[in-house]
Amino acid sequence: MKWKQVEIHESRSKLSREEIVKGLLNILPKEQVITDEQTLKENSCDRFRKYPSKGFGIYTLPYPAAVVKVKSTEEVAKVLKFLNENKINCVPRTGSTATEGGLETTVKDSVVVDGSLMKKVIKIDEEAMQVTGECGVILGDLEDKLRSMGYTTGHSPQSKPQAQLGGLVATRSIGQLSTYYGAIEDMIVGVEAVFPDGTITRIKNVPRRSAGPDIRHVIVGNEGTLCYITEVTIKIFKYMPENMVYLGWKIDDMHKGLDIIREIIVSGLRPSLCRVYSEEDAHQHFYAWHEGKCVLTFATEGLASVAKAASEEIIKIVEKYQGVERVDPKLIENWFSNLCWGQDKIDAETADMKANHRLGYTTEVSGTWAVIKQIYDNCIARIKKDFAHMDDITMLGAHSSHSYQNGTNLYFVYDYNINCKPEDEINEYHIPLNAMIVEETLKAGGSMCHHHGIGKYRTEWTKEEHGSAYYILEKLKKTFDPNDIMNKGSIFRDN
Ligand SMILES: Cc1cc2nc3c(=O)[nH]c(=O)nc-3n(C[C@H](O)[C@H](O)[C@H](O)COP(=O)(O)OP(=O)(O)OC[C@H]3O[C@@H](n4cnc5c(N)ncnc54)[C@H](O)[C@@H]3O)c2cc1C
């Protein structure tokens, strides 16, 4: 396994920590430049290190010099220009739900640029069917507002109650209804972003154009390594929950579940919710009724007649297979209604970590239909064979939750008891498990990350992931961030 430790870098700035803070105070009012120790340490990491940090208050990465709470695009431009001119590392932040180390401040005296106060919904355009909001708009709040008007973004990541527009675009996020509505890259219309030299760029809102390459994709998924996203326009759709049809089956085999989903998608059906859970993973979601089986779940939506017809076609396809048993759709509807994670679930997870020294993490990958079963089998087999603390694993499984004409994702989930010091947990458990899944997926020809972004713990494989196309990625970094100040250590191993 080729994983090396996350690298800690000395500051490259000639300015001392105190001078950095002074420089920021020349740009922003005092109350927007935060330097108290508690805030600094909480802003030095994200949920990748949730066990030592949230669980036990152990923060081992360099604390940033300051957290700045920006309130406008112009403020972002001034702050970035100052950081760029003085070679100070910038870590963009909005909803703070990152799971892959993207928020870790691995350079000493970094500055965290927090856009969560930029939460204005600028325009809901009911004719053009699009909404424009600042980077700090919480998706859940936006969704509530739109629903009250009869619309939806169609974007429903599990982190919806907390994730914000800037972070959602920066990580190429995807929601639970993606097979119908698409992922954020399908929803985004236009975007405003600030580059490290302070240049403000705005990509206009049009339905499509062929005016050269699609430059939105320089910004979508940049994980704060190229620019700071300040404003986002996404599509809206009619909200018709009353037409939703839920379906579910117990099935006897994960491979069969993947075959069924493939047949449904290849037939041209687009159920918004479209998932298969392995036996182990099904247990944590459907323990009351899954009886040791895998579980298939679907929802169809749209106009009532269309949703109904699509559900009937899905039933026909699934019930051609042996070893499937239909369940009450209410079970699926109730489960789905409680799938999102707000602060209450995060608090409950923290309490459980502390009390019971155990934890769950995930690694999400993708592959074509031709290799996805091999990825599933190989990842599970590799962990069972090579993971040094297999006795501590209490659950190892996966589900497919986002499907496409040519393939699907696998979301590996693993729970374990922790028998080491809190600060050693990521090295002993999380990093090796994550690495094994990444390695086996790449070996089989899949992608090492489907929707959480690369963050700071898959960078060892960024070149392998991209192959000869890494040339393009590297040029983007050198062109847009020549002083290498944007979120060092994310996406690029040696940026
Ligand atoms: C319980 C839970 C469930 C989740 N479920 C899903 C899911 O269903 N689908 C999914 O895709 N993800 C999911 N995630 C991951 C996470 O929520 C997403 O990656 C989300 O898009 C991050 O948004 P955020 O506003 O919290 O960003 P943050 O956590 O603040 O930042 C995420 C990354 O984006 C960068 N960034 C943030 N703001 C900006 C900006 N304005 N400009 C440039 N870069 C920026 C940061 O530097 C960091 O690298 C889940 C996370 C949790 C904790």
Distance 165 CA to ligand 1 centre (A): 9
Cβ(409) – ligand 1 distance below 6 Å: no
Question: Cβ-count burial of 206 within 10 angstroms (0-12 exposed, 13-18 middle, 19+ buried)?
Answer: exposed
Q: Tokens 């006795």 map to which residue?
A: 391
Edge-to-edge order in the sheet of strand 228-235: 121-125, 130-134, 228-235, 188-194, 200-203
Minimal-distance CA residue to ligand 1 atom 36: 167
Residue of 83, 105, 153, 173 with the most ligand 1 atoms within 8 Å of its CB, for mutation:
173
User: pTM for this structure?
Assistant: 0.97
Residue 129 tokens, joined: 């069917």
Tokens for 495, please give them.
Answer: 């940026």
Tell me which amino acid residue 64 is. P
Write phi, then psi, for 384 (nearest 5 degrees).
-60, -35
> Using CA atoms, how far apart are residues 162 and 160, in angstroms rounded to an integer?
5
Span from the CA of 99 to the centroid of ligand 1 (angstroms) = 7
Instruction: List the pLDDT tens digit at each of the 495 positions of the chain.
Output: 666 678 899 999 999 999 999 999 999 999 999 999 999 999 999 999 999 999 999 999 999 999 999 999 999 999 999 999 999 999 999 999 999 999 999 999 999 999 999 999 999 999 999 999 999 999 999 999 999 999 999 999 999 999 999 999 999 999 999 999 999 999 999 999 999 999 999 999 999 999 999 999 999 999 999 999 999 999 999 999 999 999 999 999 999 999 999 999 999 999 999 999 999 999 999 999 999 999 999 999 999 999 999 999 999 999 999 999 999 999 999 999 999 998 999 999 999 999 999 999 999 999 999 999 999 999 999 999 999 999 999 999 999 999 999 999 999 999 999 999 999 999 999 999 999 999 999 999 999 999 999 999 999 999 999 999 999 999 999 999 999 999 999 999 864
Per the CB < 8 A criterion, the answer to whether 103 and 4 are in contact is: no
